[in-house]
Amino acid sequence: MASYAPRRLSSQADRDAAGTQVACLLVAAYDLWTLGYADQALDSAHEGLRLAHELAHPFTLVVGLHAMAVLHWFRREVQAAHELTETMLARAKEQGFPDLVAAGTALRGWTLAMQGQAEAGIAQGRQVLTSQHNTSAHRWFNPLLLVEIYRVGGQAGEGLRLLAEALAVVDTTGVRHIEAELYRLQGELLLAQSADNHAAAETCLSQALTLARRQQARAWELRAAMSLSRLWQQQDKQEDARQLLAAVYDWFTEGFETADLQEARALLEALAS
């Protein structure tokens, strides 16, 4: 990013450089969000999308729209994710980018589920997982999206089955950037499946917390801490839960309007009462 010097985009070399800059800005947005800088992540993604529009290169623009929609998914901003996904899907279909159509369809499934249409969301997610266009470029987040949809739709068993497959892929490939969230969701689904799963769920949530801390992935750490704190709250370990969550929450310096941090603040207030 430091090497890129904006020009008039009059040559192919200028356009190639701008396309690389877009990619760097979008990847930086994912990294910043994971590291706990939700506002800086949004700024980076906006700048990448602005440059993609200026570049007027169809594929780069669709990638930029998709990346922005993914970031809103991370931030749990359903309406913004929905609007961007619909725009991205329309452009991807118009330009003939089947892999990006598949990626957008998975995101659409999540937005539908979050708006109370879980069955339609599950159908969209399953369609993508069985598609030849569920490529390695998008395979890391498609199962995560569908697991979230299963959780909302009350299908804990299906979610746990898919999580087992996803964790096996993590072990095989060594690609671990969502591993903490996979373990957290496994714990949440075990609790949803049966009240007898408290011990197994606590093991999963503790594993999620350990992994997130090892990676300095503050966004995943916050979610894991919230899930574990809720479990401890149910077990009448109020003070332990409060201390755990407060230590994570107090690290953050931005993103306080995001759903995760607002939820964490509300939980802290409940634990302190």
> Could you give the dihedral angle defined by the CA atoms of residues 197, 199, 201 and 203, in that order, rounded to the nearest 10 degrees?
-160
For the stretch 166-211, pLDDT in tens is: 999 889 988 899 999 999 999 999 999 998 999 999 999 999 999 9
pLDDT of residue 135: 56
Helix axes 142-152, 179-193, angle to 10 degrees: 20
For the stretch 33-64, pLDDT in tens is: 999 999 999 999 999 999 999 888 899 999 99
3-state SS class at 127:
helix
Residue 144 has pLDDT above 80, yes or no: yes
Residue 140 has pLDDT above 90, yes or no: no
Question: What kind of fold does domain 13-145 have according to CATH?
Answer: 1.25.40
Q: Give percent of the chain above pLDDT 70.
A: 94
Same fold, 13-145 and 155-273: yes
* Domain layout of the chain by residue ranges: 13-145, 155-273
pLDDT of residue 130: 75
Residue 137 has pLDDT above 60, yes or no: no
> What is the band of 139 on the pLDDT scale with cuts at 50, 70, 90?
low
Beta-carbon contacts of residue 5 (< 8 Å; ≥ 6 apart): 17
pLDDT of residue 149: 92
Residue 21 has pLDDT above 60, yes or no: yes
Residue 136 has pLDDT above 70, yes or no: no
What dotted CATH number matches 155-273?
A: 1.25.40.10
pLDDT of residue 151: 93
> What is the band of 7 on the pLDDT scale with cuts at 50, 70, 90?
low
Q: What is the 3-state secondary structure (H, E, C) of 217-232?
A: CHHHHHHHHHHHHHHH
Q: Give percent of the chain above pLDDT 90.
A: 77
